[in-house]
Chain A
Amino acid sequence: MSDTDEQPLEYRAAIAEAIAEELERDESVIFYGEDVAAAGGVFKATPGLQERFGDERVFDTPISELAMCAAAFGAAVTGLRPIVEIMFGDFMALAMDSLINQAAKWWYMSNERTPVPLVIRTAVGAGGSFGAIHSQNPAPWFLSVPGLKIACPAFPADAKSLLKAAIRDANPVLFLEHKRLYSTKGPRPQDGPDELGRARVVRQGGDLTIVALQRGVHDALEAAEELAADGIQAEVIDLRCLRPLDLPTLLASLANTHRLLVVDEGSALGGWGASIIGLVAEHGLEQLDDVWLLASPDHPVPYSPPLERAYLPSSEAIAASVRERAGLRLPTPA
């Protein structure tokens, strides 16, 4: 192992490395977005790529999310492998037609003759006081669309290996990067790309299973440490991808723990968490002694830091809800 292998990898550097390595490896890969080339991206995830690979392959675009994603579709079905950065996930609303009615459907509608190898990267999630329109997780908008893949890495190693897998994938992949993870560091990945659609047990425990993704995985791990002090051993599953969904890994864990908590930073109704609970109920009801969802209130993401903290399911909220559910400690009466 070389020295660089031992250096921890920053999440944003993982993104940049994955894009650079795939641009290097495959001439058909291109990368574009708003402010990504000359400026290196508003989250500084892509500096230096334009200098290295030239303006034909790495370029800045007009502020035109629909045109950017529609062009990615047109490029993908004709032989390129575009990677597009949409600055904030909230802006995906502007590109819905191209992604849902075009990219996701062409493989099926062409009678499985026309693959659509594109990646839309975007920064998602709350916790930075960006307010209601720069803090959502757009995953639920896309979760019910067959043909799309949705990756949601929680760790730098996965950010790199899953992004490489997404770029090499023959299908449209939404790659959702949580804003509160860009500055996190962690071990480097194993060589080569990963496989989209496989969850990972990131902490073993026999008392309950906590399922989370992105920033929520870190909160769940912190909560699990707190709970261990109370004698509760939580198993934590990082979903890593929402579509395809690794239901077998969830069901295998539930066969041991029989209790499921899903932590979803978004709204309960129609959210990914509720969707998973529905599938678990359908396929694993006999394993379930208890199941519940920790989601956010039904109003937009607030701006003020105390309001936003209260809105998000924190590690403290996760631990408290597990204790309450386990009857260990009742909430203090008001």
Chain B
Amino acid sequence: MMLIRAFELEIQRLFLRGDVHGTTHLYNGQEAVSVGVCASLREGDYVAATYRSHGAALALGIPAEALAAELLGRTTGVDGGRGGSMNIVDLDRGLIGTFGIVGGSIGAAVGAAMSAKRHGGVAVAFFGDGATNQGYFHECLNFAAVRALPVVFVCENNLYGEFTAMASVTAGGDIAARASAYGLPSRKVDGNAIAEVVAAACDAVCHAREHGPAFLECLTYRHLGHSKSDPGKYRPADEHEAWLARDPIELERTRLTQLSVPAERLAELEADVERELATATERALAAPVAAPDNDQACEYAA
């Protein structure tokens, strides 16, 4: 979680400096969801995630240097600088991809679950509250249920679909209940409490491996706006402050302190993360920018 937070702050800085191009969707505040869920997976499992997925990519073990290089458009990027912030693909680490269109991850995970079923694996789809109003959501939950596919649907409900409040565009108001309607075991958890996410994700993953799809709604909040151009002013100040006070990293720091983990140990961890990230960014920045003289595309796979 610390690495993801530090990474996002660094990307924000590099963006403002003009080194990261296009747009970015930062994950600050939601770290416990992808870290908690990915901790419940094993080798051979698959993840499909969203355009707000630097967190999932790091949680799956993509090195910060390769991810930073991708966002910087470098040849050493995880996808050679061809994808960018919204389009990270790394099947070697189980990441089917991050999907730039809302809901795209859901179908991809359902398909990966057809492969995973053959070797006892599972596939996870991360998506936001906004995706639950897409055709992907309804078609794919039904498809997965009737085929009993080993897939875990993880809704990161951060209360806003882009700039619009979830409650104002979501009939019934209860996302987890939608999954129940398709016959899936469905739970709603505090997505900012990592221990709670891990426990619920382990249950869901076990269920998926043995019996078929499961659903997890993680209530969380993004600290920043939707994308780089959005200051997030549509959110009430008191709501924003209340969620900042429930920062997943600080909640976990408190919990670990209560479990007698020394504050110095946590400070050391934080310093390690800062050092790792500084090296990663420096190396990423030093790599060549992907350009016509070093990247020749071949339209088709042989």
Q: Please report A residues at the B interface, Cβ cutoff 8 Å.
A: 30, 59, 61-62, 64, 66-80, 82, 94, 97-98, 101-102, 105-117, 146-147, 149, 170-171, 244
Contacts and interface: CB of A to CB of B under 8 A. Distances in A.
A114 B89 CA distance: 8
B134 to A, nearest CB: 9
A73 B91 contact: no
B104 interface: yes
Contacts of A108: 82, 297, 299
Contacts, number: 139
A111 B114 contact: no
A150 to B, nearest CB: 12
B80 interface: yes
Contacts of B205: none
B104 A70 contact: yes
B269 to A, nearest CB: 32
B273 interface: no
27 contacts: A30-B114, A59-B147, A61-B143, A62-B139, A62-B142, A64-B140, A66-B136, A69-B107, A70-B104, A70-B106, A72-B111, A73-B108, A74-B46, A74-B109, A74-B115, A75-B112, A77-B91, A98-B107, A101-B104, A102-B97, A106-B97, A110-B79, A111-B80, A114-B91, A149-B300, A170-B302, A244-B299
Q: Which 10 A-B pairs have the closest CB atoms?
A: A74-B111, A70-B107, A67-B139, A111-B80, A71-B111, A78-B115, A115-B301, A170-B301, A64-B139, A74-B108
Contact of B115 (A64, A79, A107, A114): A79
A67 B89 contact: no
Nearest to A243: B299
Nearest to A196: B300
A131 B135 CA distance: 26
A109 B87 contact: yes
B115 A71 contact: no
Interface residues of B, number: 43
A109 B112 contact: no
A113 B147 CA distance: 29
Given A62-B143, A66-B136, A102-B104, A76 B111 contact: yes
Interface string B93-131: 000110111001011111111111000000100000000
Contacts of B80: 111
B122 to A, nearest CB: 12
Nearest to A116: B301
B209 to A, nearest CB: 16
A78 B89 contact: no
